[in-house]
């Protein structure tokens, strides 16, 4: 067919997966374009995900720290919250990053084609131009020809079918718009996104209920860490309803009336001022005409790929949220580099042993690799070393003596195979455990590494020393 433009590589979607793939491919010499329906690059992560949520969580942390120093003899007045100014601050943080990305695309001569892309055949995408800050279609169309393509079209929040459309009912994108701080808010889904938003809204003054179908909040980390988290966060919540479902929502003038079913379900409908739907995200695999290119899409919308990130069609790759769990930005970026390098003819494959997870709540919970429970379920023999922060000088000085650092070692090799940290900056510290796992480090390697004192990070070394002491056959 006739194409308006032609590229070595076209990347569909400009999230952390898409822009990382495009930049790496351009650096390796491929003539590259990105197709993106939104006005700015950065996808969910920069525009309505990781970054805006962290901008708001930082502000919440400052407010809470200020409240905590009253036991140290310092009293601040109750903060006044200007929601409009806070929203502007958050948008400013996003703007700096998306502006930076646009500059980086330009510097690498990566073309950005604005619009909604879908496949016509295995070598062509049609792009329906979009405009403004929204995704309004202008009617203009363009056919883009590619030698190779990387699908990085991401995921979208799941909307429960029985929940009505109402401005008081939002998903994470709506919550991050920060239109109001409600009196009473229901968070549907006790995963990381829901709990991060609960942290922000409760610090700004909302009372929060959480409803979760499973028997615990945050599915990933060690249950001991979640217990610590729950104790530190009890003040935010009126009601945490585990093993409970939301079954009906009625939007009335006086509020949103919600019916629940399950273990902790209140008998009568409960009234809320705002509802956040954070019951998971679904991949966008079925929205891009993949069948026209012959690309197989799974039943739930995920696109199967091999270790080189190739779909069943060898010159079409897929990366990021659209290929599977965990739906995290750092996983998308890693996969992006693999796909771009393979597309440029280099030898590369996805070979990561572990992918860390972090809840950027207060305190943070960070984990990687095996938990004790997972090891037990697999019949793997492990040694567990837990270092309570009550024995860390820095943690006590910082008012964080409730935290802990736990490492999981293979009982035979003494190599570290997992770790969980709960406490401030846990997410920044888990990187050391990731590196240790990837390098095959054992308890002695970590324990004998000199960590700076006094830091929260030295608790990783101290946990390893706990294990080291319990190992008899080490050099």
Minimum Å gap between C-beta 342 and ligand FAD is 17
Between 375 and 433, CB nearer to ligand FAD? 433
Binding residue for ligand FAD, selected from 9, 10, 14, 256, defined by CB under 6 A? 14
Binding of ligand FAD by 297 (CB under 6 A): no
Query: Could you give the CA distance from residue 229 to residue 7 in angstroms, rounded to a whole number?
Result: 49
Query: Could you give the CA distance from residue 64 to residue 363 in angstroms, rounded to a whole number?
Result: 11
Q: What is the 3-state secondary structure (H, E, C) of 20-73?
A: HHHHHHHHCCCCEEEEECCCCCCHHHHHHCHHHHHHHHHHHHHHHHHHHHHHHC
Annotation marks residue 123 as catalytic = no
* Helical (H) or strand (E) element with 266: none
Site size toward ligand FAD, by CB under 6 A = 37
DSSP secondary structure of 427-456:
HHHHHHHHHHHHTT-BHHHHHTS---TT-S
Q: Which residues contact 372 (CB under 8 A, 6 or more apart)?
A: 222, 382, 384, 408
Binding residue for ligand FAD, selected from 25, 35, 181, 204, defined by CB under 6 A? 35
Binding of ligand FAD by 320 (CB under 6 A): yes
Query: Could you give the CA distance from residue 443 to residue 346 in angstroms, rounded to a whole number?
Result: 35
Binding residue for ligand FAD, selected from 9, 10, 11, 13, defined by CB under 6 A? 13
Between 134 and 312, CB nearer to ligand FAD? 134
Binding residue for ligand FAD, selected from 10, 22, 45, 275, defined by CB under 6 A? 45
Q: Contact at 8 Å (CB) between 172 and 189?
A: no
Q: Which residues contact 470 (CB under 8 A, 6 or more apart)?
A: 383, 385
Minimum Å gap between C-beta 363 and ligand FAD is 15
Task: Give me the catalytic one of 89, 334, 453, 468.
Answer: 453
**Token pair of 352, please?**
């990561």
Stretch that binds ligand FAD, among 13-21, 95-103, 219-227, 229-237 (CB under 6 A): 13-21
Binding of ligand FAD by 329 (CB under 6 A): yes
Binding of ligand FAD by 222 (CB under 6 A): no
Binding residue for ligand FAD, selected from 53, 361, 392, 405, defined by CB under 6 A? 53
Contact positions toward ligand FAD, by CB under 6 A?
12-18, 35-38, 43-45, 49-50, 53, 116-118, 152-155, 172, 193, 284, 288, 320-322, 327-330, 332, 360
């Amino acid at each position: 067919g006739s194409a308006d433009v032609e590229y070595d590589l076209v990347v569909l979607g400009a999230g952390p997966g898409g822009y990382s793939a495009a930049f790496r491919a351009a650096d390796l010499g491929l003539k590259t374009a990105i197709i993106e329906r939104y006005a700015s690059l950065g996808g969910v992560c920069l525009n309505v995900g990781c970054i805006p949520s962290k901008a708001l969580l930082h502000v919440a942390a400052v407010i809470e720290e200020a409240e905590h120093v009253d036991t140290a003899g310092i009293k601040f007045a109750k903060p006044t919250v200007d929601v409009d100014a806070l929203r502007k601050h958050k948008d400013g943080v996003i703007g700096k990053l998306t502006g930076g990305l646009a500059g980086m695309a330009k510097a690498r001569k990566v073309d950005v084609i604005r619009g909604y892309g879908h496949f016509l055949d295995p070598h062509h995408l049609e792009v329906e131009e979009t405009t403004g800050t929204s995704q309004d279609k202008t009617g203009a169309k363009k056919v883009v020809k590619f030698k190779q393509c990387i699908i990085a079209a991401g995921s979208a929040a799941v909307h429960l079918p029985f929940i009505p459309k109402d401005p008081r009912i939002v998903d994470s994108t709506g919550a991050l718009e920060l239109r109001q701080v409600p009196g009473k808010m229901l968070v549907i889904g006790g995963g990381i996104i829901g709990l991060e938003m609960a942290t922000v809204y409760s610090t700004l003054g909302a009372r929060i209920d959480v409803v979760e179908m499973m028997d615990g909040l945050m599915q990933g980390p060690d249950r001991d860490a979640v217990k610590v988290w729950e104790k530190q966060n009890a003040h935010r919540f009126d009601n945490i309803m585990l093993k409970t479902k939301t079954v009906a929502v009625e939007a009335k003038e006086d509020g949103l009336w919600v019916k629940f079913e399950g273990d902790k379900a209140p008998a009568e409908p409960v009234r809320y001022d705002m509802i956040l739907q954070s019951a998971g995200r679904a991949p966008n695999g079925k929205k891009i005409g993949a069948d026209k290119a012959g690309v197989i899409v799974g039943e739930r919308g995920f696109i199967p790929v091999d270790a080189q990130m190739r779909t069943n069609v060898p010159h079409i790759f897929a990366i990021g949220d659209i290929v599977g769990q965990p739906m995290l930005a750092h996983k998308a970026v890693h996969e992006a580099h693999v796909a771009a390098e393979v597309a440029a003819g280099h030898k590369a494959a996805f070979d990561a042993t572990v992918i860390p997870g972090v809840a950027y709540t207060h305190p943070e919970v960070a984990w990687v690799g095996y938990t004790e429970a997972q090891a037990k379920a697999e019949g793997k023999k492990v040694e567990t070393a837990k270092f309570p922060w009550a024995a860390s000088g820095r943690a006590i000085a910082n008012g964080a003596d409730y935290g802990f650092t736990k490492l999981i070692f293979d009982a035979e090799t003494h190599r570290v195979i997992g770790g969980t940290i709960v406490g401030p900056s846990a997410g920044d510290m888990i990187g050391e455990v990731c590196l240790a796992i990837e390098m095959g480090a054992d308890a002695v390697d970590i324990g004998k590494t000199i960590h700076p004192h006094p830091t929260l990070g030295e608790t990783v070394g101290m946990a390893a020393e706990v294990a080291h002491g319990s190992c008899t056959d080490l050099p």
